[in-house]
Structure 1
Amino acid sequence: MENSGGNLGKRVVVTGATGNVGTSVVRALAADPDIGSVLGLARRRPALEIAKATWDTVDLSRSDSEDRLVGLLRGADALVHLAWRFQPTHDPVVTWQSNVLGSRRVFDAVLRSGVPALVHASSVGAYSPGPKKEPGVDEQWPTHGWPDAAYCREKAYLERVLDTFELRHPQIRVVRMRPGFLFKETSAPEQRRIFGGRYVPGPLLRPDLLPFVPDLAGLRFQVLHTEDAAEAYRLAVLGDVRGPFNLTADPVIDARRLADLLDARVVRVPVALVRTALAAAWRTHAVPASPHLFDAVLRLPLLDSGRAHDVLGWQPTRTAEGALSAFLRGVRAGTGEDTEPLAGRKIG
């Protein structure tokens, strides 16, 4: 296949191409000599210039977006589906329209346009509650999510949709990525706005202003640098693998490791106290992160990434602490990119 630039190689389309994961995936694919071109799709066209990458717009919440997608996908060798809407958390019908119905339009467009490979961004949030001890659960752990949290409910529902899709259309190679929490420096402004709100000053995350870190029962989670996740997506596009892959980096993050990063003390705090405060702030729209997602984080299992190492040939190159450190630098500095989701807006 030959693209408009005259380079031989695979043509890949990426939805959600301007966000945290999307920008890294587009760059990872574009840098590979086996990739001829990358088409990045998003609701708003970015000002980014990346070799071999072009941009177009599509709004997956619109009922007419499937027909547009079919035209954009024709001739593609693979689709990487990353598009996801986190807000408004107070109106789950809106996120359901974009995330669930929009994803179903994407899957149907893949089928109609004859794209042979679909790489879908699932999440640790798709997993049912499970153990917080290492080595973690493998990809056979149930994916029913935490039903009270819209994010988990939507990710889990799409797992069922893909179960049926794979059964009915075995000719399409389907890969599901289930990473832990993904961070990089230039995604920090987006993530601060998603979870802390637009007006939470990034410079507040200074060690001298955070004297302690709350030690909550169940607060153990896994973190991965976004660029390491992007490498896994690149391998999935170019390889012949199928099925789900857990993606994580060591070490597991808990209150003590967070305190070390922030040079703060660890103080044991009742979960009920924190949840009550978060619920009150969410109900008054002071913060966008819902208490239901907080509940889910305390229940999500730790993951074993052995299958990604053995089958995909993937290994993270950065530690979980390195990924969190990059995020903290970005929050404090207001670092971003020239896309609407990642625009760096330093507050405070």
Structure 2
Amino acid sequence: MRVVIVGASGNAGTALLRRLRAEPDLDLTGVCRRPPTPAGPYADVTWHPVDIGSDDATDRLAEIFSGADAIVHLAWQIQPSHDQRRLYRTNVLGSRAVFRAAIRAGVPTLVHASSVGVYAPGPKRAFVRETWLRTGITESSYSRHKALVERMLDEIESDHPTLRIVRLRPGLIFQRDAGAEITRYFAGPLLPTSLLRFGRIPVVPRHPGLRLQAVHADDVADAYLRVLRADVRGAFNLAAGPVLDADIIGRAFHGVPLSVPGLLLEGAAALTWQLRLQPVDRGWVRLALKSPLMSCDRAAADLGWRPETDAVSAFRELLTGIADSAGTDSPPLTNDPGLPGRPGGLLRGRLPGNP
């Protein structure tokens, strides 16, 4: 089986390559803007450098996709958050190019990396199924883009009923190798990451909406493999227990929960983002406060999928990776200290949330 992975060098892509390379009957092709050094999880993969947001992306991708049995579309851009046009170009227009190329090449299976972010605001004390309204959280560009891309897939499913389309909607995806990347994308250079080596988070913000689901990247990769092997369609939620909130994190990491109003969380994010002190705008806070909790019953029933790593352990592994600036030889996961969102980048005038 020939599988082409678009966005194969990122957080989920790295874990997926680790998992798929263990399957002897799979021929793997990776597509990304900047191919990684072909070593470790990136070895034994045929790499193609393609910017999916470029004008010629559809033509180039269709040629690469020719003869493939499945396309896994993981590519997504989080930063630079101060350049919304660039994010739309990659996330929405780039996804359209991937889908058009898959149709043109006659690929029978298309697997898309969606997210909990596709869902409309929902409950924090109950779990929604895959049929929950998919209008996103308006204030979050990430969420709006996820909803737009799924609408494209709705139209493609209607127009091309023989194309098998699967959408995976995970919660937060954690692994040690993503430590440097997640710090760069979501925290910025002012976070005292070395303090996390002691396994302590002194103060944990508490709010009724701050109840989030997470899953280890290796468990997400296992779900992708199960999708490739099974004759399934539609959407699957992916998350591990327990739900992460201030009390659970406080107990696990010796922290004190501190009640914080949502408006204060959003205002602090907006102000520090505008001042270029950190890379996360208020939309990310709004997404965290409003996104629903997901039921994963369908993944268990139809895929036989159950996460091997619980959410607290996955979070602990990520924090270790953040403290150690863990990364890989892949450009998205690099621990290069000179990039925006890293201390060296700040010294060079490369501010968080900027190119």
TM-score bracket, normalised by the shorter chain, equals over 0.9
Q: Secondary structure at the match of 1:256?
A: helix
**CA distance in 1: counterparts of 2:60 and 2:268, whole angstroms:** 44
- Matched with 2:347 is none
RMSD across aligned positions (CA) = 1.6
Q: Per the alignment, in what secondary structure is the counterpart of residue 318 of structure 1?
A: coil
Instruction: Provide the identity percentage.
Output: 43
Instruction: Sort the Cα spacing of 1:130 and 1:85 in 2 relative to 1 into closer, same or farther, 3 A.
Output: same
Q: Which residue of 2 aligns with 1:220?
A: 211
TM-score (norm 2): 0.91
**1:180 aligned residue (157, 160, 171):** 171
Measure, in 2, the Cα distance between the counterparts of 1:199 and 1:121: 31
2:269 alignment counterpart: 278
Cα distance in 2 for partners of 1:314, 1:108 equals 30
SS state at 2:128 partner: coil
State the match for 2:30 in structure 1: 40
Deviation, 1:277, is 1.5
Distance 1:111 1:172, change over 3 A: same
1:269 aligns with 2:260: yes
Q: Secondary structure at the match of 1:227?
A: helix
Under a length normalisation based on structure 1, what TM-score does the superposition of the two structures give?
0.93
Give the match for residue 195 of structure 1.
186
Q: What is the distance in 2 between the residues matched to 1:100 and 1:222?
A: 25
Q: Which residue of 2 aligns with 1:91?
A: 83
Paired with 2:302 and 2:199, the residues of 1 have a C-alpha distance of 45
Residue by residue over 1:30-89, the C-alpha shift from the partner in whole angstroms, topping out at 9 and shown as x without a partner, is 211331x10111110101324542222110110111111011111110000000001121
1:209–1:239 CA distance, 2 compared to 1 (3 A): closer
- Deviation string, structure 1 residues 177-222 (Cα, Å, up to 9, x no partner): 0001000000111011001124534214355874211112310010
Matching residue of 2:296: 305
Matching residue of 1:324: 315
Query: What is the 5 A alignment of 1:107-186?
Result: 107-134=99-126, 136-186=127-177
Deviation (angstroms), 1:344: 2.5
Aligned partners of 1:244 and 1:208: how far apart in 2?
A: 36
Does the 8 A contact of 1:127 with 1:142 survive in 2? yes
Of residues 220, 228, 238, the one that matches 1:247 is: 238
Distance in 1 (CA, whole Å) between partners of 2:117 and 2:3 is 26
Residue 96 of structure 2 is matched in structure 1 by: 104
User: How many angstroms apart in 1 are the aligned matches of 2:204 and 2:190?
Assistant: 22
SS in 2 for 1:250: strand
Structure 1: any 5+ residue segments left out of the alignment? 1-9
Give distance in 1, aligned partners of 2:10 and 2:163: 26
Q: Using the alignment, how far apart are the partners of 1:217 and 1:155 within structure 2?
A: 25
Answering whether residue 53 of structure 2 is matched by residue 61 of structure 1, we say yes
Counterpart AA for 1:344:
N
- Distance in 1 (alpha carbons) for counterparts of 2:274 and 2:44: 45
Corresponding residue to 1:75 among 64, 67, 72: 67
Task: Give the Cα–Cα distance (whole angstroms) in 2 for the partners of residues 248 and 159 of structure 1.
Answer: 19
- Do the aligned residues in 1 keep the contact of 2:214 with 2:243 (CA within 8 Å)? yes
Cα distance between partner residues in 2 of 1:240 and 1:253:
33
Unaligned runs of 5+ in 2: 344-355
After the TM superposition, which residues 226-245 of structure 1 pair with which residues of structure 2 at under 5 Å, given as runs? 226-245=217-236
Counterpart Cα distance in 2 of 1:173 and 1:167: 11
Deviates more, 1:253-262 or 1:72-81: 253-262
Instruction: Sort the Cα spacing of 1:152 and 1:255 in 2 relative to 1 into closer, same or farther, 3 A.
Output: same
**CA distance in structure 1 between the partners assigned to 2:269 and 2:175 by the alignment:** 25
How far does the alpha carbon of each residue in 1:211-254 deviate from its partner, in whole angstroms, 9 at most, with x for none?
21111231001000011000001111121110000001010000
Q: Comparing 174-183 with 88-97, which one deviates more in the overlay?
A: 88-97
For 2:53 and 2:23, the matched residues in 1 are separated by 31
Work out whether residues 185 and 327 of structure 1, in 8 Å CA contact, stay in contact via their aligned partners in 2.
Answer: yes
CA distance, structure 1, for counterparts of residue 38 and residue 264 of structure 2: 43
In the alignment, is the contact (CA less than 8 A) between 1:247 and 1:305 conserved in 2?
yes
